[in-house]
Structure 1
C-alpha cells in the first residue's frame, strides 16, 4: 500500500516541472514499478476542521495551472471533523516582529492545544529568515522551543517534552499539529523576474503543506517589509475564508 499526496512535495512535484522533454516514465505508478495498481481516492479527512479544509481548497484552486498528467489531479478532501475557529492572519512590520509575534501566539495557544492532547508548531515559509529565526529560538527560547532543521531531525521529536515545534513545512511533512502559526506568508516569496515561474510552482505547495499541518487552529503572519500578505491568501481573505486578526 502506498499513500500519495503530491501536493505536499514541493521539491519533487513542483521544482522538477520543466518545459523540456521528460524521458522518464509518464506516471507515478510506472515510476514506482506498480504495473497494475488499484487506485483508491481517499477523500474523507479526519484530521482538520471544515474551516481549514475550505482554506486548503482555496489555495489549491488559486494555484497556477500546471501541465501535469492525470496522476497528479487528486480530488480535494472533505473534512469530517466538524467546525472550528476560522483561520486568522496578521501583518507585522519586519522579521523581528514576525518572530516575536509567532512566539507570543504559540505560547498563548499552547495550553488550549495541550487540553486537546495536541501540540503547537511555528512553521516558517521563508528559508532565509528561518535560518535566522531558529538561531534566536535555540538561544532565547531553548526551554520552550524544539527546532527541526531538516527531515533528519524528525526522529528526535521523542525528546521534545511537549515544547513548541519550530520548523519549516517541508521538514514536518506528514506530521499533524493541533495549532500552527504559519510565519512569513509573504508576497515577495513569488517575486517578479526570471525565477517567477519556479516560485509560482513551489510557493503554493509549501503554503498548502503548512496549512494542512494544522488540525484545529491556524494563525498566519506576514511581514510588511516583504510586501505584506501573499496574494494567494489575500484573495482568500476577500472570500471570507481567512479573517484579519
Structure 2
C-alpha cells in the first residue's frame, strides 16, 4: 500500500509565457527558491444533506525567499473523479483593513490652435497639470466555485505591501462514494521588497493526484468531527474549521 501523503512542499517555477510582462524582471532563481507548503489537516467521511460526503480541510503556507514577497496567490483544488462534486466550501471572501495611498495623475492641457488668414495653426502652448487623490486599498480574498473545483484568489494591500494573507486555510464538503482524488495547483505573482513595482509570475502543482478515497485512508485523516455525522446537524458550521482572522 502506498504511503498516505498529507503534507507536501512545492517549489515554484517561473511562468515563461508571462516572463516579458514585467518591465523590470528579476532572477528566476528567486522564484524557484520560494515555496508553498500544504497540509491536508482533515479528511473524514460521513453524510451531508443525506448524501455520502467527505469533509476536507487543508492549510497552505506561502514561504518566500529572502527579499521576496507573495503579491498575489491563486489556489485551485480540483476533484479528479467526474462523479464527485463540491457542495460547500469556506472561505468565500474576505476584506482586510483599509489603507489610503496617494495616486498622482499627470494630464496635458493644450491650446487647440489659432486661425490665421483662414489657416489653422497648432500652437504648442499647452501645459502639464498634476493632481493627486487618495485611493483606499485592502488585502482581499475572493473565490469561485465549479462543480468539481474551487479557486481562491488572495491579493495583498497595494498600499502597505505586506504580502498576501497567510497562512491560508480552506474547507470543503465533497459528495463522494468510495474513491476520491484531488489535485492542487498554485499560480502566484512575486515581488521584490526592494523594488515593489517589479513582479514575476510563477506556478506550482502536484505531480500526481492525491488519493483520499475511503479504502485508501481507512478511518480518515486528522481529528474526528465529534462524530462525522455531525455534518447533518443544523448547528454544523463549515466555517468553524478555518480561520480568516488575519490582522492586516
Larger strand proportion, structure 1 or 2? 2
The TM-score normalised by the length of structure 2 is 0.26
Q: Which has the larger radius of gyration?
A: 2
The TM-score normalised by the length of structure 1 is 0.26
